[in-house]
Structure 1
Amino acid sequence: MPTINQQTSQPDEINSSRPNQPVATFLQEAENLYVWCVDDIPELLKAGIDEALINELPLRIKACRDAQTLWKKKSKTPGDAKVQWKLQLTEVSKLATELLRAMRFAFRNHTDLLARLNYLTKGNSYTTLIQQLNDLALLGRKNSQLLAAIGFDQGLLDTAIAKSKELASLWAQTKNENARLNEVVVARNKAFWTLQQQVSEIRAAGKYIFRHRKDRYAGYVSQYWKQKNGRRNLLDQ
């Protein structure tokens, strides 16, 4: 049988945590439980189970199933901003590398400019890359004569500034998409744990009431946790 920690937790602590078992498996077990326990309503009521708890199961199951479906759809379908970000990232990284190599060569005899380059290229985050593009372009414009002396394409500086602005906008949109996805995840998790609390209550009552009747007791046992734990309680045998 599953342990208490695997089956129940305080609602305030688990409302936004990840499900502790595959959602599809849990939903099917919840469906099975509902069909099973309907015939035992009189006995369950005597054990203190509110009939509304049982009657609400189909609605709670549907709510959790719908939330799971939405989460799977959102998680497997990246937003437009995320798609564009990934497409741009490789190109922009190459551009930043090209700018840096050209400037290191052009500024090779200017220790102050080389020190400035080293300062501007610290860090390896996406936000750092966005800022680096703009900073490198501005530095290049201020020292355009040195770049011209090595045959550098000055148009790349304008491209870098434009790409920096474009990436900043895409990154903000991507973060917004991620936030919306997180809202979907939280909603799914809450739906799971709300249903899980109801299922646990009904199972606990059923196991107590039918502790001496193996034929009815069996319907209140989670087969998932029974197999997961790899052991059986004497009542489950």
Structure 2
Amino acid sequence: MSKECYEQKAAAIEAIANPVKPNLPISVALEEAEDLYLWVQSDRAALERVGLSWQLVDDLPLRVAACRYTESEWQNHLTTTSDAEKEWLQKRNEAKVLSVDLTRALRFALGRKLNVLGEKKPSSGYMRQAAFIDYCYNIAVLAADYTEQLQAVGFDISRLDGACDNAEHLSVLLARVHTERGEQYILRNQRNRAYTHLKEAVDQIRRCGKFAFASQPERLKGYASAYGRKNRK
């Protein structure tokens, strides 16, 4: 049902020019919008008298359902893509340990004056991810040419097995992570647009309610956010 509601509202949601980031949990925003929809039903005449279009009230359940759908899609994507992120972090850390150890061993085995490593190394300062992967690959290729010298200083040559393949795998993993992060951004932006579309209706209904019932505290309380009131204390 939520997906169908989103499809009905998709054009309006995509037309939101400046989506806002939710300043309260989405579950709370949805619950308060649903409560507001029920609260206003007996106030139609008073609200229309101060200029509220009742069409906005009728549209509220659709906006709630559309927002719920986009939030669910984003959260599901976050859950299903976490494995790739975890694997990238694990493999990156393993590659960093190997490349740092290789850098030290090669510099010791070959002598500091022999400039075969270049100026950059993973242990010194910040290295961009793509450059880091290139370094891991290049240091593994270089080490393969100096296995005897590495063995002579006690380096475990078995650690070089598959090092180049691992560096290439890192590149594939990084591409996956970037793709998934891009998808996450799109889904989050979609959720923010749906939330903004819902918020616009809620804000307008509350604004009219607060004006119409300014002198009736018992009705006025239904046009305020319980979450906002609680968190202002």
Q: CA deviation at 1:106?
A: 1.1
Partner of 1:224: 227
Among 85, 91, 95, the residue aligned to 1:92: 95
Deviates more, 1:163-172 or 1:39-48: 39-48
Q: Distance in 2 between matches of 1:12 and 1:151?
A: 62
Of 68, 74, 77, 2:77 maps to 74
Give the whole-Å Cα distance in 1 for the aligned partners of 2:62 and 2:228. Answer: 24
Higher mean alpha-carbon deviation, 211-220 vs 50-59, is at: 211-220
Amino acid at match of 1:201: Q
Alpha carbons of structure 1 residues 145 and 37: separation in structure 2 relative to 1, 3 Å: same
Moved more, 135-144 or 193-202: 135-144
Given candidates 25, 45, 61, the residue that maps to 1:22 is 25
Tell me the distance in 2 between the aligned counterparts of 1:76 and 1:90: 22
Name the amino acid aligned to 1:223: A
Q: Does 1:32 align with 2:40?
A: no
TM-fit CA distance, 1:164:
1.3
Partner amino acid for 2:32? E
Question: What is the deviation of 1:203?
Answer: 0.6
Asked if structure 1 preserves the Cα contact closer than 8 Å seen for 2:100 and 2:121, the reply is: no
Distance 2:158 2:33 in 1: 63
Within 5 A, what are the aligned runs for 1:157-176? Answer: 157=160, 159-176=162-179
Task: Give deviations 1:57-102, integer Å, cap 9, x for gaps.
Answer: 0011111122222223333443443232233233322321332232
**Equivalents in 2 of 1:99, 1:168: separation in Å?**
20
Q: Distance in 2 between matches of 1:152 and 1:226?
A: 64
Corresponding residue of 1:233:
none
Q: Does 1:133 align with 2:136?
A: yes
Aligned residue in 1 for 2:65:
62
Amino acid at match of 2:201: Q
Cα displacement string for residues 182-231 of structure 1 (whole angstroms, at most 9, x for unaligned residues): 1111111111111111001001111111122222222112222222223x
Q: Aligned residue for 1:46? A: 49
Partner of 2:9: none
Which residue is 1:112 aligned to? 114
Contact 1:103 1:140 in 2 (8 A): yes
Distance (Å, rounded) in 2 between the aligned partners of 1:169 and 1:179:
15
Q: Counterparts of 1:72 and 1:140 in 2: how far apart (Å)?
A: 44
Residue 207 (1) aligns with residue 210 (2): yes
TM-score (norm 2): 0.81
Contact 2:103/2:121, CA 8 A, preserved across alignment: no
Question: Cα deviations across residues 112-140 of structure 1 (Å, max 9, x unaligned)?
Answer: 326x3443545444333311111212333
CA distance in 2, matches of 1:153, 1:213: 81
Cα distance in structure 2, aligned partners of 1:62 and 1:79: 26
Q: Which piece of structure 1 moves more, 216-225 or 86-95?
A: 86-95
- Indicate the SS of the match to 1:112: coil
Listed as ranges, the gaps of 5+ residues in structure 2 are: 1-15
From 191, 194, 207, the equivalent of 2:197 is: 194
User: 1-side partners of 2:154 and 2:35: how far apart?
Assistant: 74
Question: 1:235 is matched with which residue?
Answer: none
Give the deviation of 1:148 after TM superposition: 5.6
Distance in 2 (alpha carbons) for counterparts of 1:119 and 1:126: 13
Give me the whole-angstrom Cα distance separating, in 2, the residues matched to 1:218 and 1:173: 49
Task: Please state whether the residue corresponding to 1:104 is helix, strand or coil.
Answer: helix
Equivalent pair of 2:96/2:136 in contact (CA under 8 Å): no
Q: Tell me the equivalent position of 1:4.
A: none
